[in-house]
Chains A and B, each alone.
Chain A
Amino acid sequence: MTAHAPAVDVHHGEHHGPPPAHQSSRVSAPVLGMFLFIASEVMLFGSFFTAYFFVRVVNPDAPGWPPEGFHVPVFVAGVNTAILVTSSFTMHWALQSIKRGNRAGLQAGLVLTLAMGLTFLLTQMLEYARVGFAPRDTAFGSVFYGLTGLHGAHVFVGLTLLTVATVRAFRGHFSPEHHHGVEIPGIYWHFVDVMWIVVYATIYLL
């Protein structure tokens, strides 16, 4: 999801490019595109929550949640939640910094966000290794791994986008006027964060 370069052709003086498109909305195209993509992602999570709903609520023979003999680490995941929520704030800081032209703040904010996101992902992987059941162990296991795994995949995508933004931030890109490359991964990161709160609440707490 990158900002489409304004269609002004400077390299081929003899040819002219397309006429600049008329901007018929106040929302910029890349931001709107990211919001629509997130709407689509919300529905993908929605389908996984539907599976959760059928397995846990609709199914007349549903055992407890978690079923007997299964244990989910509520506390560790809670700490992990705190880490991810904090990373949203550092992300916001990074964006606000570049809006004010503070490159050091941008770099620090991005690196901190990246570090916290990585911590979250590694903790999640450790949890998988130690939780004591596999995706094939009853529908509970399937839904647990399905939802947390889908979310983990989104954290991975978010981290990839953030890495790109960080690399570019250190190579001197972005300015108070042009920072779509920070803003758009940021929107995605906040979405990943909010989604985790829902996943945590439904899988671990409820």
Chain B
Amino acid sequence: MSTTIEQQHDLHATPAPRPRGTRARLLAPGWLRALWMTPLFLGIGLALVLGIRALAGWDPIWYWQPVLTVAFLTTAPLGFLAGIGCFDYWARYAVGTPTQPEDHSGHGAHSWRDYFRVNTDHKVIGTQYVVTTIFFLLAGGLLAMFVRAELARPGTQFFDPQAYNSLFSVHASLMIFLFIIPAFAGLANFVIPLMLGAPDMAFPRLNALSFWMLPIGGVIMLSSLIVGGFGAGWTGYAPLSTRGDPGSLFFQMGVQWAGASSIATALNFLVTIITMRAPGMTFWRMPLLVWANFTTSLLVVVATPFIAGSQFFAMFDRVLGTDFFTPDQGGYVLAYQHIFWFYSHPAVYIMMLPGFGIASEVISVMARKPIFGYRLMALSLMAILFLGFSVWAHHMFVSGMAGYLRVPMMITTLLIAVPTGIKVFSWLATLWEGKLHFTTPMLFALGFVSMFVIGGLSGIFLGALPIVIHTSDTYFVVAHIHYVLFGGSLFTIFAGIYYWFPKMTGRMYDERMGKLHFWLTFVGFNATFFPMHIIGVQGMQRRIADYAPEFANWNFFISVASFALGASTLIFLYNMITSWARGPRAEANPWRALTLEWQVSSPPPVFNFDEIPQVVGNPYEYGVPGARHAVLNGDRAAVEEEVRVH
């Protein structure tokens, strides 16, 4: 991990001077200050809860639920954020003292230590995001290995049913909230300002805050395992989540932190894309990755508050004893599922649309052809956005909800296949007669398209009422979700990481190891998840620690395959770490791409561009003689030439 700014020719920023003396060090933003501010805020939270309980005369004064919620899961993390330095500028602004004008000392990473500090540089934050989310990918993957170890044989081997429930619940929560959603946000964080020709995001300090809220959510969800985890699944259905094990509280609060992080990032993306595009970069000239993140961010801003709401209600029902989901007190249990899925169905597009963007970038570049039907690609993203809000109840077909909702929800669900199909055929048409370069990112992108089609087809089965009533809550659903989220999202994340690795680190990854990683993942993935369709249709129920002996052979096969799949991740890790440390230097534009991030050095200069580029054409004109996307570094003659020609 020796990629430092010093090796670059384009160094503008100097590091801030290190604080001297014990007092200065304790007061300077950083881990040392976080070390004393976290307990301080924990104490404040404790005093708040216990003080109010004592004043109101509630008995007992020490009641673990509010203490845990307020002191441990709310104020202590706030203390950490304050200590590490997320609020320094705003605190100074709030008391009216002169704020320190941005001196850009926080820009760029001068050594690996700078990745552990609050940094306002979108490139550093992007790297922080990706590395953090890979950590949670490994944690979540390890839990999946435990799940498969338990399921390798019928009966109970390693984990009792309650522990088993916690394993798959924490696995799914980590993978969804701490890996897929933020991994896309991290890649986009690095790439989008560069693609737009902007020096940074619109709100760099908010960007840093969004990143630092993320590990908090992850640590909270992981630490639920200390109290035995939570067994209600990543969906946390009431009343199981409002009555049962204490771990559910960790899920409910962890989601709030991850959700707040996600909303803040989405808001930042939207404002950046709307207000900071380079001259000439009209909406119809934006790369599709930018389009994808634009629609995703709209979804996040509008939908995520609903999961916040549903978790607030569940938390209130636990901690305050409210009756939102208590039937005999006038509450309505199904309301939880409606509110939850009103977020969580759009959330599956939050987990997929940025991947569509990555696939479009990679496929067009590696096939050396313009993307087929560019405008329709962008419009179909918007169509998915709108349709995505009208399908939530298809998760509840067997829940006992109002019968008249079923058929409309089925129709809208099947309608989503139309814009998604447009995208798939557009990728195929882009590939048609292209000059294909089978690099690792391309392999993952192609793997994504083929696996996502399988996942999409099983999705049509699951959207059709007569079939889903039979297959609901079976391994058919598990197979479907992993084909779209693993074969879909994770494959595109891998494609994106390999594709932008040279840009992010300034080094080239090992292509042979990358290909080996792809093939092992591809084969291991299909061997693991394809048989789940079969045992699912035969009636093996999901989320149950034990199963009927007739499924034993398939399950043993699946478990062995899943361990191979897990092992293939180690190759990825080894490749990433060694290539980052010692890989050959990457050129500025190893893929000969047209989009703006490839027109600057690898890694990019601290402030991205010396001068804001002038965009003069479409981003995907591969194979078109003389086509240019943008003109850099004040090449005025070239700009005038372009204007004259067009």
Give residues in A with beta carbon < 8 Å to B. Answer: 2, 4-5, 7, 9-12, 15-25, 27-29, 32-33, 36-37, 39-41, 43-44, 46-48, 50-51, 54-55, 58-59, 61-63, 67, 135-143, 145-146, 164, 167-168, 170-171, 173
Q: Which residue of B lies closest to A44 (CB)?
A: B305
Residue in B198, B277, B301, B313 whose CB lies within 8 Å of A51? B313
- CB of B271 within 8 A of CB of A18, answer no
A7 and B199 in contact (CB under 8 A), knowing A25-B275, A58-B332, A168-B96? Answer: yes
CB neighbours of A135 from chain B (8 A): 316, 320-322
What's the Cα separation between A63 and B331 when bound, in Å?
Answer: 11
B281 near A: Cβ within 8 Å? yes
B57 near A: Cβ within 8 Å? no
What's the Cα separation between A146 and B203 when bound, in Å?
Answer: 32
**Distance to closest chain A CB from B540 (angstroms):** 34
- CB of A47 within 8 A of CB of B309, answer yes
Beyond A24-B279, A54-B332, A59-B332, 5 additional contacts (C-beta under 8 Å) are A19-B609, A20-B612, A27-B275, A41-B305, A47-B306
- CB of B323 within 8 A of CB of A138, answer yes
A50 and B339 in contact (CB under 8 A), knowing A19-B199, A33-B203, A36-B271? Answer: yes
What's the Cα separation between A61 and B330 when bound, in Å?
Answer: 7
**Residue of A12, A17, A25, A63 with highest tally of chain B CB at under 10 A:** A17
Q: Which residue of B lies closest to A169 (CB)?
A: B96
**Distance to closest chain A CB from B492 (angstroms):** 26
What's the Cα separation between A20 and B414 when bound, in Å?
Answer: 47
Residue in A22, A33, A171 whose CB lies within 8 Å of B612? A22
**Distance to closest chain A CB from B58 (angstroms):** 11
CB neighbours of A5 from chain B (8 A): 99, 101-102
A54 and B335 in contact (CB under 8 A), knowing A47-B308, A142-B322, A145-B322? Answer: yes
Can you name 25 A-B residue pairings with CB atoms under 8 Å? A9-B104, A15-B13, A19-B610, A20-B199, A21-B198, A21-B200, A24-B274, A29-B271, A32-B271, A33-B267, A33-B268, A37-B267, A41-B305, A43-B304, A50-B306, A50-B342, A54-B332, A59-B332, A135-B316, A139-B323, A139-B330, A164-B93, A164-B94, A167-B95, A171-B96
**Distance to closest chain B CB from A14 (angstroms):** 9
**Distance to closest chain B CB from A124 (angstroms):** 17
Residue in A32, A39, A136 whose CB lies within 8 Å of B275? A32
B202 near A: Cβ within 8 Å? yes
What's the Cα separation between A55 and B609 when bound, in Å?
Answer: 55
B161 near A: Cβ within 8 Å? no
Q: Which residue of A lies closest to B297 (CB)?
A: A36
A47 and B322 in contact (CB under 8 A), knowing A21-B276, A39-B302, A142-B316? Answer: no
**Distance to closest chain A CB from B156 (angstroms):** 38
- CB of B339 within 8 A of CB of A136, answer no
CB neighbours of B303 from chain A (8 A): 43
- CB of B320 within 8 A of CB of A48, answer no
Interface residues of B toward A: which range? Answer: 35 or more
- CB of A39 within 8 A of CB of B301, answer yes
What's the Cα separation between A21 and B334 when bound, in Å?
Answer: 48
What's the Cα separation between A182 and B463 when bound, in Å?
Answer: 50
What's the Cα separation between A67 and B323 when bound, in Å?
Answer: 14
- CB of A54 within 8 A of CB of B12, answer no
Chain A to chain B: the 7 pairs with minimum beta-carbon distance, closest first: A47-B309, A18-B199, A18-B607, A139-B330, A142-B322, A54-B335, A44-B305
**Distance to closest chain A CB from B274 (angstroms):** 5
Task: Name B276-335 residues within 8 Å CB distance of A.
Answer: 276-279, 281, 301-306, 308-310, 312-313, 316, 320-324, 326, 329-332, 334-335
What's the Cα separation between A141 and B313 when bound, in Å?
Answer: 13
**Residue of A37, A47, A48, A142 with highest tally of chain B CB at under 10 A:** A47
B90 near A: Cβ within 8 Å? yes
What's the Cα separation between A55 and B322 when bound, in Å?
Answer: 13
B103 near A: Cβ within 8 Å? yes
**Residue of A12, A28, A36, A62 with highest tally of chain B CB at under 10 A:** A36
What's the Cα separation between A27 and B104 when bound, in Å?
Answer: 25
CB neighbours of A15 from chain B (8 A): 12-14, 104
A48 and B321 in contact (CB under 8 A), knowing A22-B612, A29-B275? Answer: no
CB neighbours of B276 from chain A (8 A): 21-24, 29
CB neighbours of A167 from chain B (8 A): 94-96
B263 near A: Cβ within 8 Å? yes
What's the Cα separation between A140 and B332 when bound, in Å?
Answer: 11
B611 near A: Cβ within 8 Å? yes
**Residue of B93, B279, B304 with highest tally of chain A CB at under 10 A:** B93
**Residue of A18, A19, A51, A139 with highest tally of chain B CB at under 10 A:** A18
- CB of B608 within 8 A of CB of A43, answer no
**Distance to closest chain A CB from B639 (angstroms):** 14
B406 near A: Cβ within 8 Å? no
- CB of B607 within 8 A of CB of A17, answer yes
Q: Which residue of B lies closest to A163 (CB)?
A: B94
Q: Which residue of B lies closest to A161 (CB)?
A: B94
**Distance to closest chain A CB from B482 (angstroms):** 29
Residue in B268, B335, B342, B612 whose CB lies within 8 Å of A21? B612
What's the Cα separation between A7 and B107 when bound, in Å?
Answer: 13
B197 near A: Cβ within 8 Å? yes
* Proximity string of chain B (1-34) to chain A, C-beta cutoff 8 Å, 1 when within and 0 when not: 0000000000011100000000000000000000
* Proximity string of chain B (257-278) to chain A, C-beta cutoff 8 Å, 1 when within and 0 when not: 0000001000110110011111
- CB of A141 within 8 A of CB of B335, answer no
Q: Which residue of B lies closest to A149 (CB)?
A: B316
Residue in B279, B324, B612 whose CB lies within 8 Å of A139? B324
Q: Which residue of A lies closest to B402 (CB)?
A: A58
CB neighbours of B304 from chain A (8 A): 40, 43
A19 and B611 in contact (CB under 8 A), knowing A44-B308, A47-B306? Answer: yes
Q: Which residue of A lies closest to B608 (CB)?
A: A18
**Distance to closest chain B CB from A170 (angstroms):** 8
CB neighbours of B202 from chain A (8 A): 4, 29, 33
CB neighbours of B323 from chain A (8 A): 136-139, 141-142
CB neighbours of B104 from chain A (8 A): 9, 15, 17-18
**Distance to closest chain A CB from B217 (angstroms):** 17
What's the Cα separation between A200 and B302 when bound, in Å?
Answer: 23
B239 near A: Cβ within 8 Å? no
B434 near A: Cβ within 8 Å? no
* Proximity string of chain B (48-60) to chain A, C-beta cutoff 8 Å, 1 when within and 0 when not: 0000000000000
B338 near A: Cβ within 8 Å? yes
Task: Name B515-574 residues within 8 Å CB distance of A.
Answer: none
B583 near A: Cβ within 8 Å? no
CB neighbours of A138 from chain B (8 A): 323, 329-330
Q: Which residue of B lies closest to A62 (CB)?
A: B330
**Distance to closest chain A CB from B101 (angstroms):** 5
CB neighbours of A46 from chain B (8 A): 305-306, 309
Q: Which residue of A lies closest to B89 (CB)?
A: A2
- CB of B277 within 8 A of CB of A22, answer yes
**Distance to closest chain A CB from B376 (angstroms):** 24
CB neighbours of A51 from chain B (8 A): 309, 313, 324, 335, 339
Q: Which residue of B lies closest to A12 (CB)?
A: B103
A43 and B316 in contact (CB under 8 A), knowing A12-B103, A142-B331, A173-B96? Answer: no
What's the Cα separation between A157 and B245 when bound, in Å?
Answer: 33
